[in-house]
Copies of this chain bind each other. A is one copy, B any other.
Amino acid sequence: DRTIDLAVISGDGIGPEVVAQGLKVLTAVLPQDVKLETHEYDLGAKRWHATGETLTDAELEKLKGHDAILLGAIGDPGVPSGVLERGLLLKLRFAFDHFVNLRPSKLFPNTSSPLAGRPEIDFVVVREGTEGPYVGNGGTIRKGTPHEVANEVSVNTAYGVERVVRDAYARAQARPARKLTLVHKNNVLVHAGHLWKDTFDRVGREFPEVSTDYLHVDAATIFLVTDPARFDVIVTDNLFGDIITDLAAAVSGGIGLAASGNINPTREFPSMFEPVHGSAPDIAGSGKADPTATVLSVALLLRHLGFEAEAARVDEAVTADLAERGETARTTDEIGEALAARVAG
């Protein structure tokens, strides 16, 4: 019998509510002979308020032992900006070398899009997860004085860029449209831009069947609202990826449906799956949170662990559920139950 040893970071606000539904669907879809073991880690804003701790070295070490991590959402307005981001979320992404931050965008049936005419949307963004402006290599001098200077350094390495670009080509190669778009700003950020573009062109010669395209990040935001159907796979740096995936989520049904995987393709460390949305303290406890993004993140988790058929069943359940849902609003629990029933059926 196989076992999935899953670390769970339910977190704050709606985090625990959506994670409960994600686990319900995961349990329902797994084959009989696969055992699911979950280990909850008490991390996030509540923990920080109580202890001042974000993530201890001991916890980081323990997390390493799991097959994967499911994260709900962390943060509340009482925590100073950056504390949990740098001390927990980004710490995990960096420590576990999550260099592929995978964010699919799909306009599901019956979802509301702000775009007129509901264009076809079905693409995936491969966002670099361990470099760029996110490395935290910045600093401030003369803080709080009229002579303060605050710098942020974006670090980009051949090693880091090549591995994520290669991953993106492989994903593009495996999709019907076989198209990969590099998004950067190489006319201004010329050093990083050269490295990205040169790597993109060089690795591309190994994937002659994948057609390629380059867009500046500003132009990419235009196409995301005027012609999102043009995208198949996008590869981009950490910060540009952060920005365009929120926009991509907004045009394809909203952040309540956006899943993500922080993936270490080498499997040296556990990968982490999380909805793109935050902890939404304003609706926590009201049953209004949509667990669909978490359930779709569970599908990414299943796929990463080799349960391709089960992942597909979860994706299909979400599509069918959205296609057939009625007019009445459903609670977090009702949506989770409906999806669990579909994948079990």
What is A's interface to B at a CB cutoff of 8 Å?
A: 81-82, 85-86, 90, 113-117, 133-134, 136, 138-140, 142-159, 162, 185-195, 197-198, 217-219, 221-222, 224-226, 239, 242-247, 249-251, 254-255
Contact = CB atoms under 8 A, between A and B. Distances in A.
A139 to B, nearest CB: 6
A152 B192 contact: yes
A142 B195 CA distance: 11
A191 to B, nearest CB: 4
B150 A192 contact: yes
A140 B193 contact: no
A145 to B, nearest CB: 7
A148 B189 contact: no
A247 B219 contact: no
Contact of A152 (B136, B144, B189, B255): B189
A205 to B, nearest CB: 15
B191 A152 contact: yes
A225 B222 contact: no
Contacts of A186: 81-82
Given A153-B151, A154-B154, A140 B191 contact: yes
Nearest to A162: B146
A158 B133 contact: no
Contacts of A90: 188
Nearest to A241: B218
Cβ-closest 5 pairs across A and B: A218-B246, A148-B158, A221-B247, A138-B191, A150-B195
Contacts of A81: 186-187, 190, 193, 197
A62 B152 CA distance: 35
A345 B17 CA distance: 64
Given A115-B116, A152-B189, 17 more contacts: A81-B187, A114-B116, A115-B225, A133-B152, A138-B189, A138-B191, A142-B158, A143-B194, A146-B158, A147-B159, A149-B155, A150-B194, A152-B156, A152-B191, A218-B245, A218-B247, A219-B246
Contact of A151 (B159, B191, B255): B191
Given A222-B250, A243-B221, A250-B225, A144 B191 contact: no
